[in-house]
């Protein structure tokens, strides 16, 4: 089921998050929160969690490198590590930082192991929910001893999911999606990619559309979703690659037929 090194990574994530994130939940001081860019928050929990995970994971796998959200904010050139042959740990220390800073429960830590753009393993850890979902390529997505499976709608009109379309550089395309959202069932966004991926993998929603495509937000979730039986493509029909951050959107569905129905409903005349 899950290889021993995967269990080791799971324990590292749980322990570090318990010490650096959970202890600070609802206890952040004013100086513990800052902006990387207007509206883009970072907290001391993000910084410390990424630092400790970076140290622990590179020690666990000698020769590996790390792409972390906070490191990339300081030096975007680190994204180029995805093109190297060395194994790459992709880390989102606190996905849903705004929720975390506001004392809201929908935040999580995401980690993926990537080699030559192939996602080999993934973790999403929701500390307040006591949930850790783990996947390895070809071995399924697991929540403890439970193998996860996406839910396929019985009828097209039963499709329900999350449209996270607020980051389109192409404003006309974003407006087109918003104008057609009544063609499909949409649920309220949780403001955390990690929690949307958890909902997908647990069969709580059928689809999600993301338009902000940084690798730490999606590499872990795409593998987990795929190993739970899901189907993901960019809006141009190409498969997901962690380095393809400039694509216009990533649409995930429970199966190829549902993906095509969603794409047609949102984009076809």
Contact 108, 125 (CB under 8 A): yes
Average per-residue pLDDT for the chain: 92
Q: Is the pLDDT of residue 196 over 60?
A: yes
pLDDT number for residue 175? 75
pLDDT number for residue 39? 81
Rounded to whole angstroms, the Cα distance separating 72 from 83 reads: 15
Nearest to 106, CA basis, from 199, 181, 41, 202:
199
In Å, how far are 61, 121, 222 from 213, measured between CA atoms?
26, 19, 11
Mean pLDDT to the nearest integer, 46-53: 98
Rounded to whole angstroms, the Cα distance separating 43 from 29 reads: 10
What confidence category does residue 170 fall into, taking pLDDT thresholds of 50, 70 and 90?
A: low
Q: CATH for 156-267?
A: 3.40.190.80
| Stronger pLDDT, 128 or 168, i.e. the higher one | 128
Class of domain 4-147: alpha beta
Domain ranges of the chain: 4-147, 156-267
What confidence category does residue 1 fall into, taking pLDDT thresholds of 50, 70 and 90?
A: very low
Q: Are strands 207-210 and 131-136 parallel, antiparallel or unpaired?
A: unpaired
pLDDT number for residue 92? 98
Same fold across 4-147 and 156-267? no
């Amino acid at each position: 089921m899950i290889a021993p090194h995967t269990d080791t990574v799971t324990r590292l994530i749980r322990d570090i998050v318990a010490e650096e994130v959970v202890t600070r939940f609802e206890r952040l001081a004013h100086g513990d929160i800052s902006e990387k860019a207007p509206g883009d928050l970072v907290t001391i929990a993000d910084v410390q969690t990424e630092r400790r995970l970076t140290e622990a994971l590179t020690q666990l796998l000698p020769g590996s490198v790390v792409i972390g959200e906070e490191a990339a904010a300081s030096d975007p050139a680190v994204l180029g590590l995805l093109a190297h042959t060395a194994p790459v740990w992709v880390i989102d220390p606190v996905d849903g930082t705004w929720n975390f800073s506001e004392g809201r429960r929908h935040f999580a830590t995401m980690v993926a192991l990537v080699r030559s753009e192939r996602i080999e393993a993934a973790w999403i850890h929701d500390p307040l929910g006591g949930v850790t979902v783990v996947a390895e390529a070809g071995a399924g997505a697991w929540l403890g001893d439970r193998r996860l499976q996406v839910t396929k709608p019985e009828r097209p009109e039963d499709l329900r999911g999350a449209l996270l379309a607020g980051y389109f550089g192409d404003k006309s395309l974003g407006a087109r999606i918003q104008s057609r959202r009544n063609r499909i069932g949409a649920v309220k966004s949780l403001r955390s990619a990690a929690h949307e991926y958890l909902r997908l993998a647990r069969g709580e929603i059928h689809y999600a559309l993301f338009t902000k495509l940084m690798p730490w937000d999606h590499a872990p979730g795409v593998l987990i979703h795929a190993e739970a039986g899901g189907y993901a493509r960019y809006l141009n029909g190409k498969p997901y690659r962690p380095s393809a951050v400039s694509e216009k959107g990533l649409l995930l569905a429970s199966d190829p037929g549902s993906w095509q129905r969603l794409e047609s409903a949102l984009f076809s005349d």
